[in-house]
């Protein structure tokens, strides 16, 4: 029993030693890569060359430099993101870090640089992660994700959000018809212009509408900076105008010449 | 006994791991983190000496532009050491921390020196100078110096200024000045960036433009406006530049406008896909 414990503790400590060695290596690399944001172009170029030389080992250190607790300055983080973009195709962890930097970084320019990297690499995993941030509970995170999505400006993400808007469902319960106590309207159809009363049945209608709001609509409102309501049609038309598929004049012309059948949304 | 021996050995290994990890970076400290050394304060004597150097005639007084003289190169090396000194000289008189002797020639040359130094610390002062300086020659020098920094952040900052929505903080003359700076910067990426913003500005109408109100907002039962309350577009009596800041910036930057369909992004997209590859900024 005691032998087993002895070996287990030894193994644990060996792991600690290995981790320590890794941390030491990463720390040394981070210290070398700090010049990625140096004000002088020569120093930056030198640091970039170092990153390219230590290609395989560099990525974990670069990702570590983006950690919020690291006191790397704004331009170093920007330089780190530019170097990470050179490592494409990225690992899952790198893609997630890009998404995190695009939304949660405190410096605006670093967030934009991360967005530029996502856009340039067409990094779908990072984009998916940014969309996930956009549906978060925290309003500040949602707003930041909306800004990132606007900066990335990926048509697929916007189209996906429009498609995700649910159609609201409305239940209508029609009550019993009322008695014909008074006419609903009068029409001048009688002799000498006499008005003829028209009686129409009246029924009370009560109903419940559900799916009026959705996270996709809220996110789209944040991204567009405009409010087209909660129906998918309005947003679909916004998307088509944004993607330069239709112009405002074409859209108005279509709207003006709709048939009665189309106006009633008949299939 | 064996367990105690194992514990002692483990503690030794743990200490070794910690020391090994901390050795290279040397960042294991107890107590408050030391503050980074603050940059040296720029004195009036320093500024006066720099002005003297900037205004001195070059030794080889031929037709070579001043920013290509050895004197300018020497000052650029000096600017790499102390960019704050030249950044102070960029501030036009009347602004806080301005040096009274920094006239338009001094400011233009200070901008050129900062550009030659290619130091990133000069980025923000140069952006400010390229937009806000009252003298055109200083604005021109700052915009050209920005180009030398070769930093996309500068372009993004200028595009932000050119298309700012806050028309009270950034009135049209400021945004127009930013557009001119972008033209002098001369990177077509600025137009692409502005066109992306334009697609958001124009699509679906403008909530504050009574002549181009929002199109297709949902109304009726099952929507978030079930009573069908009409959305009243406030007439704020704003100019076209304030109603459509991005459109105004694109027009100013490219010099292109359309009589028909100008507020359709489709029109701009079609123009750019046709003209974009061969587009050059007018001198």
Model confidence over A218-229: pLDDT tens digits?
A: 999 999 999 999
Distances (CA, A) of A259 to A262, A263, A264, A265, B64: 5, 6, 9, 10, 73
What sections of chain A are H helices per DSSP? 2-33, 41-53, 55-65, 74-86, 92-104, 108-121, 124-134, 139-152, 155-163, 215-224, 232-242, 248-256, 260-263
Cα gap B157→B113, rounded to integer Å: 21
Beta bridge partners of A85: none
CB count, 10 Å around CB of A214? 17
Instruction: Establish whether this prediction's ipTM goes over 0.85.
Output: no
Question: What is the mean pLDDT of the segment spanning B26-37?
Answer: 64
- Rounded Cα distance, A61 and A24, in Å: 11
Chain B environment of A112 (Cβ under 8 Å): 156
Asked which of A40-54, A91-105, B208-222 is least confident by mean pLDDT, the reply is B208-222
- Could you tell me if residue B276 is inside a domain? no
Q: Give percent of chain A above pLDDT 90.
A: 57
Cα→Cα distances B148→B128, B143, B194, B239, Å: 16, 9, 22, 35
Residues of chain A found within 8 Å of residue B5, distances taken between Cβ atoms: 6
**Domain of B116, in residue numbers:** 43-150
Gap between the Cα atoms of B1 and A253, Å rounded: 92
Helix axes B123-132, B136-149, angle to 10 degrees: 150
More confident residue, B140 or B12: B140
Q: What is the pLDDT of residue A28?
A: 77
Q: Kindly report, residue by residue over A235-265, the tens digit of the pLDDT.
A: 999 999 999 999 988 888 877 777 777 666 6
Q: What is the reported pLDDT for B61?
A: 65
Structural domain spans, chain A: 19-132, 215-263
Tell me what pLDDT residue B69 has: 87
Say which residue the tokens 């239709």 belong to: A246
pLDDT interval class at A185 (50, 70, 90): confident
Report CA-CA distances (Å) from B81 to A25, A191, B74, B112, B250.
31, 103, 11, 16, 38
**Contact between residue B67 and residue B112 where contact means Cβ atoms under 8 Å apart:** yes
Q: Which of A24, A225, A237 sits opposite B21 (nearest CB)?
A: A24
- pLDDT above 70 coverage of chain B, percent: 87
Task: Tell me: pLDDT of B4 over 90.
Answer: no
Backbone torsion region of residue A249, taken as left when φ is above 0, otherwise alpha when ψ lies between -120 and 50, otherwise beta: alpha
Contact check, Cβ <8 Å, B16/A212: no
Chain B residues 78-137 with a CB less than 8 Å from chain A: 80, 83, 118-121
Cis amide prior to A29 (ω within 30 degrees)? no
| Neighbour-count burial for B7-23, b at 16+ CB within 10 Å, e otherwise | eeebeebeeebbeebbe
Lowest model confidence (mean pLDDT) among B16-20, B106-110, B148-152: B16-20
What is the predicted pLDDT for the residue at B36? Answer: 64
pLDDT 10s digits, A123-160: 999 999 999 999 999 999 999 999 999 999 999 999 99
State the pLDDT confidence band at B15, using cuts at 50, 70 and 90: low
pLDDT in tens, B194-233: 999 999 999 999 999 988 988 888 888 888 888 888 877 7
- pLDDT top residue among B255 and B5: B255
Statement: residue A191 has pLDDT above 80: yes
Residue B28: band (very low, low, confident or very high) from pLDDT cuts 50, 70, 90: low
pLDDT score recorded for residue A177? 72
**Chain pair A-B, CB pairs under 8 angstroms:** 171
d(CA A91, CA B221): 48
pLDDT at B19: 55
Mean of pLDDT over chain A = 87
B124 domain-assigned: yes
Residues 3-32 of A with CB under 8 A from B: 3, 5-6, 9-10, 12-14, 16-17, 19-21, 23-25, 27-28, 30-31
Q: Are A235 and A162 in contact (CB under 8 A)?
A: yes
User: What percentage of residues in chain A have a pLDDT greater than 70?
Assistant: 90
Provide the shortest C-alpha distance from residue B72 to chain A (in Å): 17
Q: Do A10 and B119 touch (CB under 8 A)?
A: no
Q: How confident is the model at residue B168 (pLDDT cuts 50, 70, 90)?
A: very high
- Number of compact structural domains in chain B: 1
Residue B63: predicted pLDDT: 74
Task: For residue B25, tell me if it sits in a domain.
Answer: no
Listed range (A71-85, A190-204, B184-198) with the worst mean pLDDT: A190-204
Q: What band does B190 get if pLDDT is binned at 50, 70 and 90?
A: very high
The H or E element containing residue A176 is strand A169-177
- Ramachandran area for residue B60 (φ above 0: left; ψ -120 to 50: alpha; else beta): beta
**Sequential DSSP letters for A40-73:** SHHHHHHHHHHHHHTHHHHHHHHHHHTSTTS---
Asked if A174 reaches chain B (Cβ–Cβ under 8 Å), the answer is: no
Q: Name B17's Cβ contacts closer than 8 Å, sequence gap at least 6.
A: A13, A16, A17, A19, A20, A21
Amino acid B239: pLDDT = 94
- Read off the pTM: 0.83
- pLDDT of residue A56 exceeding 80, the answer is no
Q: Please state which of the ranges B163-172, B193-202, B234-243 shows the lowest mean pLDDT.
A: B234-243
């Amino acid at each position: 029993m005691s032998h087993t414990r002895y070996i287990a503790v030894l193994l644990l400590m060996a792991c600690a030693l290995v981790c320590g060695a890794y941390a030491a290596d990463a720390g040394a690399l981070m210290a070398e890569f700090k010049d990625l944001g140096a004000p002088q172009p020569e120093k930056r170029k030198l640091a970039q060359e170092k990153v390219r030389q230590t290609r395989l080992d560099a990525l974990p250190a670069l990702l570590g430099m983006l950690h919020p607790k690291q006191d790397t300055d704004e331009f170093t983080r920007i330089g780190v993101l530019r170097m990470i973009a050179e490592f494409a195709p990225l690992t899952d962890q790198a893609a997630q870090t890009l998404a995190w930097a695009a939304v949660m970084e405190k410096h605006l320019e670093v967030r934009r640089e991360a967005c530029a990297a996502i856009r340039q690499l067409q990094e779908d995993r990072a984009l998916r992660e940014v969309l996930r941030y956009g549906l978060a509970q925290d309003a500040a995170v949602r707003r930041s994700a909306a800004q990132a999505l606007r900066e990335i400006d990926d048509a697929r993400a916007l189209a996906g959000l429009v498609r995700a808007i649910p159609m609201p469902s409305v239940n209508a319960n029609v009550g019993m018809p009322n008695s014909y106590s008074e006419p609903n309207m009068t029409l001048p159809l009688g002799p000498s212009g006499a008005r003829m009363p028209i009686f129409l049945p009246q029924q009370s209608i009560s109903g419940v509408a559900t799916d009026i709001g959705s996270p996709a609509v809220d996110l789209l409102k944040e991204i567009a900076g405009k409010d087209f309501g909660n129906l998918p049609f309005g947003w679909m038309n916004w998307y088509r105008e944004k993607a330069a598929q239709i112009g405002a004049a074409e859209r108005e012309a279509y709207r003006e010449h709709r048939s009665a059948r189309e106006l009633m949304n008949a299939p | 006994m064996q367990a105690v021996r194992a514990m002692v050995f483990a503690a030794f290994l743990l200490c070794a791991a910690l020391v090994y990890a901390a050795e290279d970076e040397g960042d294991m400290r107890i107590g408050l983190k030391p503050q980074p050394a603050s940059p040296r304060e720029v004195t009036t004597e320093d500024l006066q000496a720099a002005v003297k150097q900037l205004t001195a005639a070059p030794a080889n007084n031929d037709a070579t532009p001043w920013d290509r003289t050895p004197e300018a190169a020497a000052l650029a090396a000096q600017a790499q050491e102390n960019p704050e000194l030249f950044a102070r000289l960029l501030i036009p008189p009347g602004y806080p921390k301005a040096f009274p002797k920094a006239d338009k020639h001094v400011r233009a040359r200070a901008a050129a020196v900062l550009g030659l130094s290619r130091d990133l610390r000069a980025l923000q002062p140069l952006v400010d100078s390229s937009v806000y300086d009252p003298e055109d020659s200083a604005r021109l020098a700052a915009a050209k110096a920005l180009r030398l920094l070769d930093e996309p952040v500068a372009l993004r900052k200028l595009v932000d200024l050119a298309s700012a929505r806050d028309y009270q903080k950034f009135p049209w003359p400021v945004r127009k000045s930013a557009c001119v700076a972008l033209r002098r910067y001369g990177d077509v990426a600025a137009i692409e960036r502005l066109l992306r913003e334009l697609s958001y500005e124009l699509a679906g109408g403008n909530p504050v433009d009574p002549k181009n109100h929002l199109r297709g907002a949902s109304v009726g039962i099952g929507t978030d406006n079930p009573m069908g309350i009409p959305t009243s577009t406030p007439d704020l009596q704003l100019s076209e530049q304030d109603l459509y800041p991005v459109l105004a910036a694109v027009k100013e930057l490219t010099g292109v406008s359309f009589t028909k369909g100008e507020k359709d992004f489709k029109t701009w997209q079609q123009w750019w896909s046709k003209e974009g590859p061969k587009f050059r900024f007018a001198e």
